[in-house]
Amino acid sequence: MIPRSVLITGAAGGLGTRLRGLMRGLYPRLVLTDRATPKDLQPDETFVAADLAQLDEMERVMAGIDAVVHLGGMSVENEWQAILDANIIGLYNAFEAARRCGVKRVVFASSFHVVGYYRRNRRFGTEARVRPDSRYGASKAFGEALASLYADKHGLRVLSIRIGNIDDRPVDKRRLSGWLSPPDFLQLVRIGLEHPDLHCEIVWGVSDNERNWWDNEAALRLGYRPQSNAETLRDQALAAEAKLPHDPIGELFQGGGFASREFSGDLERM
């Protein structure tokens, strides 16, 4: 069943702004929320200011909503308190408000940083244990667990998308593996919003890249058919890579700079 009203959280951010344009005209009612007002609001968009940290505000904005695309929260590594407020408490409030308001579906923007401490020569599916490379990555692993709880206990239909990197093109060598084109991202979001048999799934947010690290069988089973391949843009990415500073830790792991930041571990045991 196609949702009539879709809410995008984090709508003023870079990813939210991009998704607004991609989703325009697909659903009868598009509602946006963030603490800041998005730029260039369109006549067919409704904006309601709300803070993820406030459950009552999230309930207010979710009233009458059929489905949520949850992009809100901290999108990079940060100090613990910032991650806690935005990605732990804020995420709980989003799911709990959805439950209380009778929302049927949630698409959760997870991240490949939940597995950022796997080395770049590993290929695996979503069943592999999480190995977050940061407080940010750990918060996304929490989000996937919370999604499972609300699907099993309360019947929400949830798709968690472990996003690699969404951009118009891959900007370095690492992203030749994890790049997700905007049209392919939209395809995954629509699967989360519309697939009739969805219960709770985790999929990789990645295009059909030749250097892909991840087995995306779960997404393919749901009907995902990625159209983009980072290898067609490799020359620009490799040229940009040559200008980057050497990162002996980050270059080993899929998480890149997230993995090397604050690193004091034992490489031999890893």
Active site residues: 136
Nearest to 75 by CA among 8, 150, 16: 16
Q: In the structure encoding, which two tokens stand for residue 164, read together?
A: 């690699």
The CA-based angle 33-34-37, given to 5 degrees, is: 95
**How many other C-beta atoms lie within 10 A of the C-beta of residue 25?**
8
Cα–Cα distance measured from residue 223 to residue 201, given in angstroms and rounded to the nearest whole number: 13
Q: Are 53 and 86 in contact (CB under 8 A)?
A: yes
Q: How many CB atoms lie within 10 A of CB 66?
A: 20
- CA pair distance 52, 256, nearest whole angstrom: 29
Q: Which of 241, 132, 229 is nearest to 184 (CA)?
A: 229
Q: Is 101 exposed, middle or buried (0-12, 13-18, 19+ CB in 10 A)?
A: middle
Location of structure tokens 């904005």: 61
Tokens of 135: 């407080």
What six digits make up the tokens of 208? 């059909």
